[in-house]
């Protein structure tokens, strides 16, 4: 079997906020690695001249007024038209030389997303707190959504047009990476993960990521996605907790009733009844929302299938 891949339109999209020290480096590196790609800087209200530096380096600049990386990604997928989307942070920490390999792997294998997982020996590049938080949150997502990625929070990714134009993008901040991963898992898209070199930021460049604040937001996002993507499992877990508490509190009361014929703890009985009723309501919500979610997933699937495969991808035997 031989495979012919026509030259696709590749867009390198760079979300950036106050990255004047590094944006020119990133643009130049990707111009060299992907000389036929369109380079686009999505400026998120920078105040240090990032947009001007990006234009001077030869990139097209799109202003995104709503603050937050999630809002930038939302605009990126809406306003940029391409066959292949390369998303990379504007902090010069990701390896531009790996981009051709990531793009080729996506095209040759008919994938919808390839994640460039971070591999670094520099402690300053990938701080211990960030490593631990990434592993913890990735494992949390894996326990809920099943198979996931080793580096779920990587900012270096390649997407197919099908993925880009079917992604809803609800998140506003750094939790967008979690939503990107869960969307692919929920839609059962073909994906891959390839290790890429991760470097430390150049001197004078500061990370916009707050370990604890953004880590908490990502955890909340995982729970929200659990509720929206798997409502029956979410509400059944709440139902099980209510019923366990209710039965645990009711057993001593029931035992006393069997022995004496009296019910001395009326408030406990009322509380157990309320827990049981509340658990039943939660279970009913889970059943109804599961039906709604199935319909919503079918609509997402139809939107995904409405976008044809990349025309340049052909298989011949």
- How does pLDDT run across 195-238, given as a tens digit for each residue? 998 887 666 656 666 666 767 888 888 888 888 888 999 999 99
| CA–CA dist 59, 97 (Å, integer) | 18
State whether 214 and 265 are in the same domain: no
Whether 221 is covered by a domain: the verdict is yes
State whether 117 and 192 are in the same domain: yes
- Kindly report which listed range (73-77, 163-167, 265-269) carries the lowest average pLDDT score: 265-269
- The total domain count for the chain is 2
Helix (H, G, I), strand (E, B) or coil at 245: helix
Residue 303, token pair as written in the block: 């939107």
CA angle centred on 9, ends 11 and 110, rounded to 5°: 95
Residue 148 and residue 225 in contact, taking contact as beta carbons nearer than 8 Å: no
Whether 315 is covered by a domain: the verdict is no
Listed residues 209, 227, 245: the one ending a domain: 227
State whether 159 and 139 are in the same domain: yes
Listed residues 211, 227, 243: the one ending a domain: 227
Residue 315 has pLDDT above 60, yes or no: no
State whether 188 and 264 are in the same domain: no
* CB contact set of 115 (below 8 Å; sequence gap of 6+): 149, 151, 152, 154, 156, 157, 181, 191, 192, 193, 194
State whether 117 and 12 are in the same domain: yes
The values of phi and psi at residue 64, to 5°, are -120, 105
Whether 313 is covered by a domain: the verdict is no
| % the chain with pLDDT above 70 | 87
| CA–CA dist 233, 165 (Å, integer) | 28
State whether 164 and 300 are in the same domain: no
State whether 191 and 145 are in the same domain: yes
Closest CA to 64 of 41, 82, 86, 87: 41
State whether 160 and 283 are in the same domain: no
Whether 16 is covered by a domain: the verdict is yes
Whether 310 is covered by a domain: the verdict is no
Compute CA distances 31 → 12, 50, 56, 57, 88, whole Å. 9, 18, 13, 10, 13
What pLDDT is attached to residue 205? 59
Residue 166, token pair as written in the block: 């079917």
DSSP 202: P
Instruction: Report CA torsion sign: 199, 204, 209, 213.
Output: positive
Listed residues 169, 201, 227: the one ending a domain: 227
Strand partners, 283: none
What pLDDT is attached to residue 146? 74
Question: Residue 77 belongs to a domain with what CATH number?
Answer: 3.90.550.10
- Kindly report which listed range (29-33, 75-79, 152-156, 163-167) carries the lowest average pLDDT score: 152-156
The structure's pTM equals: 0.79
State whether 254 and 222 are in the same domain: no
DSSP 20: T
- In this prediction, residue 46 has a pLDDT band, given cuts at 50, 70 and 90, of very high
What average pLDDT is seen over the chain? 85
Whether 124 is covered by a domain: the verdict is yes
Residue 293 has pLDDT above 70, yes or no: yes
Q: Residue 167 belongs to what domain range?
A: 2-227
Residue 128 has pLDDT above 80, yes or no: no
State whether 101 and 114 are in the same domain: yes
Q: Could you tell me how far CA 311 lies from the centroid of its own chain? A: 27
Mean pLDDT for 108-121 is: 87
State whether 222 and 237 are in the same domain: no
Q: Could you tell me how far CA 185 lies from the centroid of its own chain? A: 10
What pLDDT is attached to residue 125? 47
């Amino acid at each position: 079997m031989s495979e012919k891949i026509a030259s696709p339109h590749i867009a390198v999209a760079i979300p950036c906020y106050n990255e004047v020290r590094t944006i020119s480096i990133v643009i130049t590196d990707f111009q060299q690695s992907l000389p036929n790609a369109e380079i686009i800087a999505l400026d998120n209200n920078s105040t240090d001249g990032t947009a001007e530096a990006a234009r001077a380096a030869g990139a097209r600049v799109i202003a995104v007024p709503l603050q937050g990386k999630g809002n930038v990604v939302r605009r990126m997928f809406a306003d940029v038209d391409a066959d292949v989307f390369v998303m990379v942070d504007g902090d010069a920490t990701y390896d531009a030389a790996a981009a051709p390999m990531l793009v080729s792997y996506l095209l040759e294998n008919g994938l919808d997303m390839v994640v460039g997982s971070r591999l670094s020996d520099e402690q300053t590049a990938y701080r211990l707190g960030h490593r631990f938080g990434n592993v913890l949150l990735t494992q949390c997502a894996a326990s809920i959504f099943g198979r996931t990625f080793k580096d779920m929070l990587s900012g270096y990714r390649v997407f197919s047009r099908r993925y880009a134009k079917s992604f809803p993008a609800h998140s506003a901040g750094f939790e967008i990476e979690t939503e990107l991963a869960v969307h692919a898992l929920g839609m059962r898209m073909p994906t891959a993960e390839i290790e890429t070199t991760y470097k430390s930021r150049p001197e004078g460049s500061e990370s916009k990521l707050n370990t604890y604040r953004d880590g908490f937001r990502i955890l909340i996002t995982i729970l929200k996605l659990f509720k929206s993507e798997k409502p029956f499992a979410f509400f059944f877990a709440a139902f099980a907790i209510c019923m366990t508490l209710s039965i645990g509190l009711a057993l001593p009361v029931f035992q006393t009733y069997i022995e004496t014929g009296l019910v001395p703890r009326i408030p406990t009985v009322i509380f157990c009844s309320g827990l049981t009723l509340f658990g039943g309501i939660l279970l009913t919500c889970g059943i109804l929302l599961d039906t709604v979610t199935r319909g919503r997933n079918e609509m997402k699937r139809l939107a995904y299938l409405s976008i044809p495969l990349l025309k340049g991808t052909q298989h011949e035997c």
